[in-house]
Structure 1
C-alpha cells in the first residue's frame, strides 16, 4: 500500500514538473512561437547608376556598295580577288562585248543613213523653191496677158493651179526636212544607247575600298538589271568606318537617343576581354518588317523591333591595327557583337538591389508607421462606397527589431549590370532592408512578419575566404 502511494506521488510530481516546464517555456517563447523567415539584409546607400539598353547584332561597314551588271553576258576578264583594295574608277571586270559592238555598228549605220536622207530632203527644198519661182513668173505673165485680153481665163486658171501646187510642194519639202531631223535624232539616240550598253560591258569601281565579297568566277554568265534584279557580282566596302546594326525592342527604343555612347563586346575578341566604344548614329523611324496593313495585321503577335546603328570609334581599336603585319582592319563584315547603350547615368544617388523592390496591391502597400483609426464608429445607415481597383505599387521591406515593415517607394533608373535600382523617395540612407531571397520578397513576406538573418552556407564562406 505504501509502495503504491509512493508511486502515485512520484507520478504526480513528474506531471507537476512537466506542467511548470510547459508554462515557463511558453512564457519564455520556447514553444508556440512563430518561426521567423530567413532573409538577407542590405543597408541603403548611395552609388553611381548607369542605365543601359542591351541588344545583339552584326558588324557591317557604314558604306558598302553592291555591284550588279546593267547588261547580261559572259565574264571574259576578272581583274580583282576578294579582299583586294581598289580605287575609284579602277577596272574590275569585263563582260563579252561582241554582240554590243555589232549593235553599236548597226546603230551607227542607221545614223549615217538618216543623215543622208536629211541632206536629200534639203536638196528637195531647193528644187521646190526653184519650181515655185518659175510657176510664180508664169502666173504673173498669164495674169498680165489675161488683163490685156490676150489669153483666155482657162489659161490663167492653169497658171494659178500650177502656182498653188508649187507652194504645196515647197511646204512638203520643208516638212520632209523636219521629219528627217527627227529621224536623225532618233538614230543618234539609238547609237548612244548601243554605245552605252557597250561601255557597260566594262565595270569600274564606283568608290575606293576593299572587295568585301566576290560572288562570281571567270567565265560565269550574269544577268543584267534590265532583266529582273540582276546578278550581284561583288561588294566594295569602306572597312575604315564600321558599325554595329542591332534590333531594339519597342519598350526600350524610346530610351535610346542619337549620340548615346555604347560599350561593344565583339565575340571574336571575347577571349581577350577587349571591349570597344561606340556612338549611336542612326535610329530607324519604322519598325522592322512594317509594310502594308495586311502584313501588319498578320504580324501583330511578332516582336516589334527597330534597327539602331552604332559607329565603332576608331580610337577604341587603334592598338589592334598593325600595318606591318597587314592587320589594318580588325573587324570583318558579319561579325557578331553585343552592345550596351548607355541611355542615362546618375552619380551618387540612393540605390538598392533590384531584388529588394517588389510590387504589391494597394491594400498591402501601406507602411505600418501610419496608423489607421479602426475604432471610429460607423453609422448603420452609411452605405459602403465602391472601391476602385488601384494599380500595384512598388514596395520594400524595412528591417525593424526582428520584424519587417512594408513601405512604398518610388524608383528611377535601373543599372542592369550592377543589379541596382535608383530609389527616388521612400527610403533614407543607412536603413536596413530585405534584399532576398527573391521568392520571399516577391511572394511570401508580409507586413509585421518575423524575420531572421539567413546564415551563409559553408561553401559560400569558403568562396569568400578564397
Structure 2
C-alpha cells in the first residue's frame, strides 16, 4: 500500500514539474512563439515616373498605293523592277491594247457616220423649207384665183393640203437633225469610253516613290473592271515617311492622345540596341472589326476590343543609319515588327514605391464583425439591415515597432511599368519603410500586426560571425 502511494506521489511530482516548465517556457517565449514571416523592405522615396502604353505592331509606309488594272489583258510591257524609284507620270507597264484600238476605231467610225447623218438632215431641212416656200406661193395664188371665182374650191383645197404637207416635212427634217445631234453625242461618248479604255492599257505612276511590291511578270494576264478591284499588280510607297501601326486595348486607349511621343524598338535593330522616336499621328474612332457582319455574329466575350493607333517614326532618330554611298537610303522595310512604348504622362520627383508593394484588401474582417453585431439585434427582435459591401482598398504594409507591420491605406497615381514603380498620392511619407515582397506575402498572407523578419537577415548574421 505504501509502495503504491509512493508511485502516485512520484507521478504527481513529475506532472507538476512539467506544468511549471511549460508555464515558464511559454512566458519566456521558448514555445508557442509566433513564427515571423520573411519579407523584403524598401524605403519610400521620390523618383521620376513615366507612364507608358505598350503594344506591338508592323511598320508600314504612311502612303502606299496599290495599283490594279481597269481593263483585262496580257502584260506586253514591264518597265520596272521591285525596289526601283519611280516618278509621278512614269510609264510602269503596258497591257495588250489591240482589242481596244479596234474598238476605238469602230467608235470613231460611228461618230463620223453620225456626223454625216446630221449633214444629210441639214440638207433635208433646206429642201423641205424650199418646198414649203413653193407650196406657200402656190396656195396664195390659188387663194386669189378662188376669190376671183376663177377656180373651184377643190383646187384651193389641194393647194392648202400641199402647204400643210410642206410644213410637216420641215418639222420632220428638223426632228431628224435633232436626232442626228443626239446620235453624234452618243457616238462621241462611246468614242470617249473606248479611248479611255485604250488609255488604261498603259499604267503610269500616280506618285513619286519606290516600287515596294511587284506581283506580276511579263506575259501574265490580269483581270480588271471598273466596278471592282482587279488583280493587284504592284505597290508604290513613300519610304521616306514610315509609321508603326499598333492595336491598343480599350482600357489603355483612353490614355493615348494625338501628339504623344513614343519610344520604338524595331526587332531588326534589337541586337544593336538602337531605339527610335515617334509621335502619335492617328487614333481610330472605331474598334477593329466592328460594324460588319462578322462583328454582329460574334460574341462580345470572344474577342478583345482594340483600336488602331499610328505612330510616325521621326526621321532624325534614324538619320545615322542612312548611307547613300552604300545605297542604304531606307532603313525600314514594310512589314517589319516593332514594339512601341507610348509616353502618356511624365512626372518628376514624385513619391513612389514598387508596384509589388501595393495590394488590395476588401474589408472582409470588418464585414464579419458587423454581421456578428447584427446577430445581437436579431435576438432582440429588431430586423436585420443589409450591410453594404466595402470596395477594395489599396494598401501597403509599413514597418512598425517590435518587428511588426501595420496595414495602411494609400492612394496611388500613375504607374511606370518599365521601372516597376507606382506614384503614391497620399498615405505615406518619404523615408518610411514598407514591405516590398515577396508577392505572395504582400498580396495574400500578411495582415495588420503580423510579425515579420527581414529576408536573409539570419544568413547575413551568420556571414558576419
* TM-score (norm: length of structure 2): 0.90
Are 2:412 and 1:411 equivalent residues in the alignment?
yes
Partner of 2:248: 248
Aligned partner of residue 57 in structure 2, secondary structure: strand
CA drift at 1:207: 0.3
Aligned partner of residue 154 in structure 1, secondary structure: helix
Cα 1:90–1:365 change in 2 (3 A) is: farther
Residues 28-427 of structure 1 correspond to what in structure 2 (within 5 A)?
28-226=28-226, 228-292=228-292, 295-301=295-301, 302-363=303-364, 384-401=384-401, 402-427=403-428
What is the alpha-carbon distance in structure 2 between the residues aligned to residue 297 and residue 214 of structure 1? Answer: 37
Cα deviations across residues 419-439 of structure 1 (Å, max 9, x unaligned)? 111111111111111111111
More displaced 10-residue stretch of structure 1: 253-262 or 7-16: 7-16
Partner of 2:3: none
Contact 1:49-1:345 at 8 Å conserved across structures: yes
Aligned partner of residue 177 in structure 1, secondary structure: helix
Cα 1:19–1:358 change in 2 (3 A) is: same
Cα deviations across residues 137-185 of structure 1 (Å, max 9, x unaligned)? 0110111111111111111111111111111110110011011011011
CA drift at 1:66: 0.3
Contact 1:72-1:221 at 8 Å conserved across structures: yes
More displaced 10-residue stretch of structure 1: 436-445 or 292-301: 292-301
Partner of 1:370: none
Cα 1:428–1:16 change in 2 (3 A) is: same
Cα deviations across residues 43-90 of structure 1 (Å, max 9, x unaligned)? 111111111100000000000000001110000010000000000010
CA drift at 1:309: 0.2
Task: Structure 1: give runs of 5+ residues left out of the alignment.
Answer: 1-6, 367-373
Partner of 2:4: none
Aligned partner of residue 350 in structure 1, secondary structure: strand
Contact 1:365-1:408 at 8 Å conserved across structures: no
Cα 1:175–1:228 change in 2 (3 A) is: same
What is the alpha-carbon distance in structure 2 between the residues aligned to residue 392 and residue 311 of structure 1? Answer: 40
Aligned partner of residue 60 in structure 1, secondary structure: strand
Contact 1:121-1:180 at 8 Å conserved across structures: yes
Task: Structure 2: give runs of 5+ residues left out of the alignment.
Answer: 1-6, 368-372
Aligned partner of residue 216 in structure 2, secondary structure: coil
Residues 12-31 of structure 1 correspond to what in structure 2 (within 5 A)?
22-31=22-31
CA drift at 1:294: 6.5
Contact 1:47-1:349 at 8 Å conserved across structures: yes
What is the alpha-carbon distance in structure 1 between the residues aligned to residue 293 and residue 22 of structure 2? Answer: 77
Cα deviations across residues 23-54 of structure 1 (Å, max 9, x unaligned)? 44322212111111111111111111111100
* TM-score (norm: length of structure 1): 0.90
What is the alpha-carbon distance in structure 2 between the residues aligned to residue 18 and residue 257 of structure 1? Answer: 74
Cα 1:31–1:342 change in 2 (3 A) is: same
What is the alpha-carbon distance in structure 1 between the residues aligned to residue 293 and residue 191 of structure 2? Answer: 46
CA drift at 1:296: 3.0
What is the alpha-carbon distance in structure 1 between the residues aligned to residue 204 and residue 262 of structure 2? Answer: 37
CA drift at 1:313: 0.2
Partner of 1:449: 450
Aligned partner of residue 243 in structure 1, secondary structure: strand
Contact 1:66-1:234 at 8 Å conserved across structures: yes
What is the alpha-carbon distance in structure 2 between the residues aligned to residue 163 and residue 454 of structure 1? Answer: 126
What is the alpha-carbon distance in structure 1 between the residues aligned to residue 297 and residue 35 of structure 2? Answer: 55
CA drift at 1:262: 0.4
CA drift at 1:333: 0.2
What is the alpha-carbon distance in structure 2 between the residues aligned to residue 361 and residue 315 of structure 1? Answer: 50
CA drift at 1:406: 1.1
Contact 1:225-1:231 at 8 Å conserved across structures: no
What is the alpha-carbon distance in structure 1 between the residues aligned to residue 458 and residue 251 of structure 2? Answer: 39
What is the alpha-carbon distance in structure 1 between the residues aligned to residue 386 and residue 207 of structure 2? Answer: 72
Aligned partner of residue 345 in structure 1, secondary structure: strand
What is the alpha-carbon distance in structure 1 between the residues aligned to residue 296 and residue 266 of structure 2? Answer: 33
